[in-house]
Chain A
Amino acid sequence: MLKIEDLHVNVGDKKILQGINLEVKPGEVHAMMGPNGSGKSTLANVLSGRDGYEIVKGKISYLKENLLELEPEVRACKGLFLAFQYPVEIPGVSGMNFLRTTLNSIKKYRKQKELDGVNFLKLLRKKAKILKIDEKLIKRSVNTGFSGGEKKRSEILQMSLLEPKLAILDETDSGLDIDALKIVANGVNKLKNKNRSFLIITHYQRLLNHIVPDKVHILSKGRIIKSGDKNLAIELEKKGYEGLV
């Protein structure tokens, strides 16, 4: 699914990622943990194709293609989804319209049949029900005036609708109360299947009480310093980053 080899990334003169190696296989759930400034969000941004990052060295292959050559929208169409840490507001564009436009754009790319309004609404209702997300959320303008929790829930709903192959969750759990956290975790668990992979970026172990990862990695100063199974996250919770670094 995803293979990162010796990835070095700079922002301006600053070295952020300094030799990341990671392989995510179909169906796997990976957790990427690390303190502030360790390069977690940079990794998410580089994977999704955001501007402003200089790839100094290294390779990323996604579904056997060179990911770094693809435009962000092409990555999205090929099934790479990023749940944003800070979802941006788009005033005036209803969530409904936004979701249908994006879903159909992806379907068009994949040469699948686009959904008309009626069928889209049916699908949306189904997904919202499974995730226990109030569909009123979608009728409002995209993220506009949403609380932190509402924004994250909306990201999860988008994820479930777009059915990605690789979903990257960038600190989706931060700032969530326990109920919202459960909705997010529930969303991921419902979507888990043998062909779909997750890369969950988080500060805290608490999300991992609800989503059981296959692998846990600890990122520090731009390098993965330790990898292990779910027990690594528990160990980290006890000792703190200081204790492991």
Chain B
Amino acid sequence: MSIDVETKKTVKSITEKYKYGFTTDIGSDKAPKGLNEDIVKLISAKKKEPKWLLDWRLKAFKAWKKMEEPNWSMVKFPKINYQDAYYYSVPKPKKKLKSLNEVDPAILSTYEKLGIPLEEQKRLTGVAVDYVFDSTSVATTFKDQLAKLGIIFCSFSEGVQSHPELIKKYLGSVIPYTDNFFATLNSAVFSDGTFVYIPSGVKCPMELSTYFRINAENTGQFERTLIIAEKDSYVSYLEGCTAPMRDENQLHAACVELITFDNAEIKYSTVQNWYPGDENGKGGIYNFVTKRGICRGNNSKISWTQVETGSAITWKYPSCILLGDNSIGKFYSVAITNNFQQADTGTKMIHIGKNTKSTIISKGISTGKGQNTYRGLVRMGPKATNGRNFTQCDSLLIGDKCGAHTVPYIEVKNQSAKVEHEATTSKISDDQMFYCRQRGLDQENAVSLIVNGFCKEVLRELPMEFAVEAQKLLGISLEGSVG
């Protein structure tokens, strides 16, 4: 057998086994399948929510029933039967935990397999982690330290209990419950998520991080995240996901809302690695996410950095509403589609205030039969005097069965605004491959190196330890793309 054939075989055997494909056996407490008012009420009751929140959920559910799945994106998938999924599941209730030693060892071992050094290592590196296991937080660290600064970092359900006034004030203020089909669904049935509040003048001293993980079969994941940065504050938040092997498609419709006041900044980074489906396009997560931030205050700033390597379908457009004067929005994205993965992702930069600035750097990589679409809107409102946008949109194709698409929308209603759009499409050349191989790199590593170079402008926006993880992920996601 020639080495070439052997290499291909090895690569194939690797891609067949999704690296993070395993499940943890912990009995889950599920609501019955299907979606109706009673399920919404059950979720709310399980979480001991106040009436206003139940009412909000019910309003959303009512609105959702009248809505239709959007069909304007490039992604194609069989019709989802929303009545054939579970909308609530929670790991078996345990007594209140005082220390991590009390956490289910099965859960801890799951994280270990993922290579997530739980607690101690994280403590040493200064990262406080709020783990979301399925839908309920199992462990929160560093809370005391953060509390001293007045920072609230907790699960969403906990936030509802401890700070209902804040949640009531801001929930749905960026993404109204009527916003879109998936966001509205989320509003009705969201299970848990993260709540972060940074008080005026406080710079959060550590990266806040949440690892999400889908674990129970057929469970939709409806996370809800709300981050508020008061005047002169700063926070960097990391969200990372990995999911176990599944044959059936799983729906994931998360909502993330960010709010910044005068001179405040939120840096939101995501590494998304949900199960992408197998090499024949079977299985994989449907990831329909609504992420939006509003720069309410003057001189405030929101930046989204995302590395999207997973999911069978990715549908997300982390956006910025630049309301305050001189506010800044940034979007840095790497999206990889391999095998039958489809991604339709991009951003919306809505310039409302004066002297608002936005930057969009998007890197799309397609290989196998993957389809990658950048879809972005830059809108300069009538009052956005001296508004400024720069967009760079690069696509890299590996192989000849994949596709890259760029769909930019630009609306300018102010004469003084400037909008720039640059786009390129390229392929990894044979010369580049040969050069790398002549220096001792095999094909997989050569592609990984070249792709990492292609994505550098985005990867360097990630916090250090995340960047390393992201680079590894790019390599894993591209396995089987050459040869």
- Using CB atoms and an 8 Å cutoff, list the residues of chain A in contact with chain B: 48-51, 69-77, 81-82, 84, 87-88, 90-93, 97-98, 101-103, 105-106, 109, 141-142, 158, 162
Contacts and interface: CB of A to CB of B under 8 A. Distances in A.
Contacts of B450: 90, 93
B453 A141 contact: yes
Interface string B433-467: 01111111111010001101111110000000000
B439 to A, nearest CB: 4
A49 B436 CA distance: 12
Contacts of A106: 440
Contacts of A141: 453
B147 interface: no
A41 to B, nearest CB: 13
Interface stretch (B317-325, B335-343, B405-413, B424-432): B424-432
A84 B435 contact: yes
A76 B454 contact: no
Given A75-B438, A77-B440, A102-B439, 6 more contacts: A69-B2, A76-B440, A88-B431, A105-B445, A141-B453, A162-B439
A101 B450 CA distance: 12
Interface in B379-435: 429-432, 434-435
B124 interface: no
Contact of B435 (A69, A88, A91, A103): A88
Contact of B434 (A72, A74, A92, A102): A72
A76 B436 CA distance: 10
A76 B438 contact: yes
Most-contacted residue by chain B among A70, A105, A158 (CB, 10 A): A105
A93 B449 contact: yes
Which bucket holds chain B's interface residue count? Answer: 20 to 34
Given A88-B429, A88-B432, A72 B438 contact: yes
A198 B443 CA distance: 27
A92 B452 contact: yes
22 contacts: A69-B2, A72-B434, A73-B438, A73-B440, A76-B438, A76-B440, A87-B435, A88-B431, A88-B435, A90-B435, A90-B450, A90-B453, A91-B453, A92-B456, A93-B450, A102-B440, A102-B441, A103-B440, A105-B439, A105-B441, A141-B453, A158-B439
B189 to A, nearest CB: 42
A98 B456 CA distance: 13
B165 interface: no
A82 B431 CA distance: 13
Contacts of A74: 3
B455 to A, nearest CB: 7
B69 interface: no
A51 B456 CA distance: 29
Which applies to chain B's interface (DSSP): helix, strand, loop or mixed?
helix
B467 to A, nearest CB: 12
Contacts of B38: none
B4 interface: yes
A123 to B, nearest CB: 16
A92 B453 contact: yes
Contacts of A82: 438
Contact of A73 (B429, B441, B457): B441
Nearest to A72: B437
Nearest to A108: B440
A103 B450 CA distance: 16
B462 to A, nearest CB: 15
B3 A92 contact: no
Given A73-B440, A76-B439, A158-B439, A93 B445 contact: no
Contacts of A87: 435
Contacts of B456: 92-93
A82 to B, nearest CB: 5
A162 B440 contact: yes
A217 B456 CA distance: 45
Nearest to A82: B438
Contacts of B439: 76, 98, 102, 105, 158, 162
B438 A48 contact: yes
A87 B435 CA distance: 8
Contacts of A109: 440
A73 B449 contact: no
A92 B454 contact: yes
Contacts of A90: 432, 435-436, 449-450, 453
Nearest to A144: B453
A105 B457 CA distance: 25
A159 to B, nearest CB: 10
Closest CB pairs A-B (n = 3): A92-B453, A93-B453, A102-B439
Contacts of A93: 449-450, 452-453, 456
A100 to B, nearest CB: 11
A127 to B, nearest CB: 15
Interface string B117-144: 0000000000000000000000000000
Nearest to A48: B438
A109 B441 CA distance: 10
- Most chain A CB within 10 A, of B439, B443, B453, is at B439
A90 B449 CA distance: 9
Given A70-B3, A90-B450, A101 B445 contact: yes
A91 B445 CA distance: 16
Nearest to A80: B438
Nearest to A92: B453
B451 to A, nearest CB: 9
Nearest to A83: B438
A77 B441 CA distance: 9
